[in-house]
Structure 1
Amino acid sequence: MDVLLRDYSDDFLAGLWLTLQLTGIGFVGAFVVGTVLAVFRISPIPPLRVAGTLYVELFRNVPLVTLLILVVYGLPYAGLNLGFYWSVILSIVAVGAAFACETLRSGINAVSTGQVEAARALGLTFAGICRELVVPQALRTVIGPIVTLFIGILLSSSLAAVVGMRELTATVAYINNREALGLTTFAVAAAIYVALSLGAAGFGSVLERRLRVLR
Structure 2
Amino acid sequence: MIRVAIADDQQLIRAGFRSLLEAEPDLEIVGEAGTGAEAVELVSRRRPDVVLMDIRMPDGDGLWATERIVADPALAGTHIVIVTTFELDEYVAQAIRAGASGFLVKDTEPVELIRAVRVVAGGDALLSPGVTKRLLERVAGSLKESPNLSRLTVLTDREREVLALVGQGLTNDEIGRALFLSPLTAKTHVSRIMAKLLARDRVQLVVIAYETGLVRAGYQE
* Larger-Rg structure: 1
What range is the shorter-chain TM-score in? under 0.3
Q: Which of structures 1 and 2 has the larger relative contact order (alpha carbons within 8 angstroms, sep 6+)?
A: 1
Q: TM-score, normalised by structure 2?
A: 0.24
| TM-score between the two structures when normalised by the length of structure 1 | 0.25
More helix by share: 1
